[in-house]
Amino acid sequence: MFKKIFISVAVLFLLAGCGTLNLGSTPWHLDIKNWSSHQRANFFMATWMAELDSYNSTNAIENKPVELINMLKAKRDILEKSRVPIRTYVGMVSSGSAPDAAMEQEIINFLRQLQMQYIYGG
């Protein structure tokens, strides 16, 4: 019983913290095309860092259920795969370069996967 309550509370906390609860507003992954490249770069890095913080704080819980351990492993894999593309994107924007649409879409896909980990379990 406690395990189900904990996981439910963790899911609600993460949804609120990750910006996936959009009460009446356009979801970020649809609205992002209207943002400047600097806004996108800042958002990508801030979201990735928030997901990393979420991973670290959840991973610090002792005696995690197997389901949570599996979700954390999947999240860690996505964090690692997305780290270089996000840092590359931010670096390109900071230097005045224009990243291509494919790179941007790859990052959006990674961030959506990270945010959906606790909803669908990977």
pTM: 0.73
pLDDT surpassing 50 at residue 2:
no
Per-position b or e across 52-75, b if 16+ CB within 10 A of its CB: bebbeebeeeeebeeebeebbeeb
Render pLDDT for 9-19 as a digit per residue (tens, 0 to 9).
454 444 445 54
- Locate 43 and state its tokens: 């958002």
Render pLDDT for 46-97 as a digit per residue (tens, 0 to 9).
999 999 999 999 999 999 999 999 999 999 999 999 999 999 999 999 999 9
Residue extents of the structural domains in the chain: 2-120
Render pLDDT for 24-49 as a digit per residue (tens, 0 to 9).
577 777 788 888 999 999 999 999 99
pLDDT recorded at residue 34 = 86
Q: What is the per-residue DSSP string for 54-110?
A: HHHHHHT-SS--HHHHHHHHHHHHHHHHHHHHHHHHHHHHHTT----HHHHHHHHHH
pLDDT surpassing 90 at residue 108:
yes
